[in-house]
Amino acid sequence: MKRIAETLDTVRATTSRNAKIYALAQAFGTIAEEGDDALRNAVRISLGEQFAPSDSRSTDAGWQSVATALAHATGASDATIHEIMRRLGDLGDAVEELLRTRVLPSPGFPLSDVEKLWASVANESSRKGKADLIAEAFTIATPLEAKYLAKTLLGEVRTGALAGVVLAALAKAFDQNLDEMRRAHAVLADVAEVAVLASHHDLRSARITPGKPVAPMLATPMEGSRAPIDWSRVIVEDKLDGIRAQVHVHGEHVSIFARGHGLITRSFPDVSAIFVDTPFDVILDGEILVVSADGRVRPFQSLQPRLGRVSVDADTLRDAQAIFVAYDILYLGTEALIDLPWHARHEKLEELATTIGVRVHPFTRVGGAPDLEVAFAAARGRSHEGVMIKRIDSHYEAGTRGAAWLKVKKAAATIDVVVTAVEQGHGKRASMLSDYTFAVWEDDALVDVGKAFTGLTNKEILELGMRFEDLTIDRHDGFRTVRPEVVLEVAFDGVQRSRRHVSGFALRFPRIARVREDKTAEQADTLETVVRIFQAQLASGHREDIHPPERRTRKRVAKDSGQLNLFFPVSSAGEVGRTQQNPIRSRRRA
């Protein structure tokens, strides 16, 4: 494991995409000589993954488990661990620093055993047992190896090497065509398995397999597409406001995958029950929605009681009844259908609907832009987000966002907000301060209501980045608290309750409309405006006020030129999460 840990440190230290690719390619080429298991584990660690996307297991080992393991492995006190973690801003880095104080050298952790470690931790039910297993691994691993074991457990492997970079590195390492790598990833949705195929020069064997998620085809916002629309060759569907999901029937099993490829079958037993008697294998693409007793589709918020549940009780099943609406079919019987045009796939979907009773999403035809406006208004009247435009001759382009599918949405409103914190971006923007946490006024304090990272050009982001360098109050790893002086106009699709933000609210799908150079921070909008928009959505039926969360408490600590708000999120298991820091300034002092 030493090689991949050293490589990830190198990758983390550079902002050059090409340098990241080169370093990873060199490592993957060498590690492949150790066998397929070692290569799989190296790729998963690089991406911060523990198991394959189709694997429902979870280590369920959070901050407290890792901290306890570190205390066992080093004899350090909780206070010492907390102090070092706060200074470094990252528990994984604290693991490395503390383990370097050991007197006896460690033999090193075998890379091929990493998944076995995750499996052991996942199978252990007690938190003490989990911590003991992690502590044992820490005693075997070198400090650098232990750092990346901890980061993988915590989901904090932030090196700027996302799936695209890793795929490019694998293509370089094994002299494979990058387009073929991407296609293999689209149908397998598992970079580690693509890596093994690439190492054996066998990418063409990648096949859609029921039970393993397929990367979903994605839609391009209509304003982002310059392609002309031939209205005779498209259909229009309502854009549903639910959870994008794939239903896989494979043998006697039914698996439901979310858009991010995670298994959500246990959260939706009422959906899987629809397919238990299906006599053949099938993969359907569609949306999970919650409906009322009269069949009316309820807003997205009504899905929240169902999310992340290992088991769902009878009351929840009754109060938040879920349905699955299919709008595409990717596999039927023994045949993959993604290379068929949309109209042919839809015919097969409708035939299937008559056989097993699945709901199929209806579509309509429009003759031009005026008809599209009518269809959009009708969709909004049915409490949906907007409409989708799909070419009837388009193949299912797994994992691709192209012009064959367009989504038409309109911002619910825009408000002026103040940036309170910034973070380094990801992918092509890994070297930029491109992720902005923003706030509105509540009396004389700023309270966060969201985070945005889209809407600005690279040039605008670079210019803002220089400003934020000067405005930085505090920094932890890639996260910076900044003096609240930059005002943005933010567009969004709605407002929802939130436990994440001290305001108690969050903007849905926020994107930056422009930088408000003409406004000072004191002229930004207020929480009262946000609440008013939320209440208007309740009145129109586009939101429900379900289980309003308790607002977080605030602790104000004076620091530097302003005030610093420290919020300490606590999970249901009682573990203290990563501290969210936000500057706060009194209007009277500004």
Using one digit for the tens of pLDDT, what is the confidence trace for 63-118?
Answer: 899 999 999 999 999 899 988 988 887 899 999 999 998 877 889 999 999 999 99
pLDDT at 542: 67
Please compute the mean of the pLDDT values over residues 199-209 and round it to a whole number: 94
Rounded distance, CA 252 to CA 281, Å? 9
Dihedral Cα 304, 306, 309, 310, nearest 10 deg: -170
Query: What average pLDDT does the segment 350-365 reach?
Result: 91
Residue 553 confidence (pLDDT) above 50: no
Residues 127-157: tens digit of each pLDDT: 999 999 999 999 999 999 999 999 999 988 8
Instruction: Tell the CATH superfamily of the 2-154 domain.
Output: DNA ligase, ATP-dependent, N-terminal domain (1.10.3260.10)
Residue extent(s) of CATH 2.40.50.140 domains in the chain = 413-584
The answer to whether the CB of 548 falls within 8 A of the CB of 540 is no
Residue-level length of the chain: 590
* Identity of residue 323: I
Sign of CA dihedral 523, 525, 529, 533: positive
Catalytic, 20? Answer no
What mean pLDDT comes out for the span 311-338?
90
d(Cα 207, Cα 507) in Å, to the nearest integer?
Answer: 39
Dihedral sign of CA atoms 92, 308, 54, 21 in order: negative
**Which pLDDT value is given to residue 417?**
93
State the pLDDT at residue 428.
Answer: 60
Domain(s) labelled CATH 3.30.470.30 in the chain stretch across 218-408
State the pLDDT confidence band at 430, using cuts at 50, 70 and 90. Answer: low
Assess contact for 185 and 170: CB atoms under 8 A: no
Task: Check pLDDT > 90 for residue 334.
Answer: yes
Query: CB neighbours of 93 closer than 8 A, spacing ≥ 6?
Result: 147, 477
Q: What is the CA angle 203-209-212, rounded to 5?
A: 100
| Amino acid of residue 243 | I
Q: Does domain 218-408 have CATH number 3.30.230.70?
A: no
Query: What's residue 576's pLDDT?
Result: 30
Q: Which residues of 453-486 form beta strands (DSSP E)?
A: 472-476, 479-482
| Amino acid 104: pLDDT | 76
* Ramachandran assignment for 571, one of left (phi > 0), alpha (psi -120 to 50 degrees), beta (any other): beta
| In the predicted structure, residue 390 carries a pLDDT above the cut 80 | yes
| Lookup result for tokens 């943005």 | 488
Kindly report, residue by residue over 444-466, the tens digit of the pLDDT. 889 999 998 888 888 888 888 88
What is the band of 579 on the pLDDT scale with cuts at 50, 70, 90?
Answer: very low
Select the CATH number that applies to the domain covering 413-584 from these four: 2.40.50.140, 3.40.50.1000, 3.40.50.620, 3.40.50.720: 2.40.50.140
Q: Measure the CA–CA gap between 292 and 322, rounded to whole angstroms.
A: 9
Which has more confidence, 223 or 362? 362
Give the rounded percent of residues in the chain with a pLDDT score beyond 70: 89
pLDDT of residue 268: 92
Q: Look at residue 575 in the predicted model and tell me its pLDDT.
A: 31
* C-beta separation of 45 from 155 below 8 A: no
Q: Is pLDDT at 587 greater than 80 in this prediction?
A: no
pLDDT value of position 583: 39
CB 521 within 8 A of CB 484: yes
Going through 498-586 in order, the beta strands assigned E by DSSP cover 505-508, 511-515, 555-559, 562-567, 580-584
CA 326 from centre of chain: 23
CA distance 308 to 4: 32
The residue-averaged pLDDT of 462-490 equals 86
Determine if the pTM surpasses 0.75.
no
Beta strands in 252-375 (DSSP E): 253-258, 282-291, 321-332, 335-336, 359-360
Confidence of residue 224 (pLDDT cuts 50, 70, 90): low
114 half-sphere exposure, CB direction, 13 A CA radius: 30
pLDDT at 262 over 90: no
Cβ contacts of 416 within 8 Å, gap of 6 or more: 487, 488, 489, 490, 516, 519, 523, 524, 525
> Is the model's pLDDT at 200 over the cut of 50?
yes
- Of residues 478 and 549, the one with the higher pLDDT is 478
Share of the chain above pLDDT 90, in %: 49
At residue 278, what are phi and psi to the nearest 5 degrees? -65, 125
- In the numeric block, the tokens 């035809």 are attached to 365
Options 172, 239, 407, 451, the catalytic residue: 239
41: which 2 tokens? Answer: 């584990």
Would you state the pLDDT for residue 547?
55
Intervals of CATH 1.10.3260.10 along the chain:
2-154
Residue 369: burial class (beta carbons within 10 Å; 0-12, 13-18, 19+) = exposed
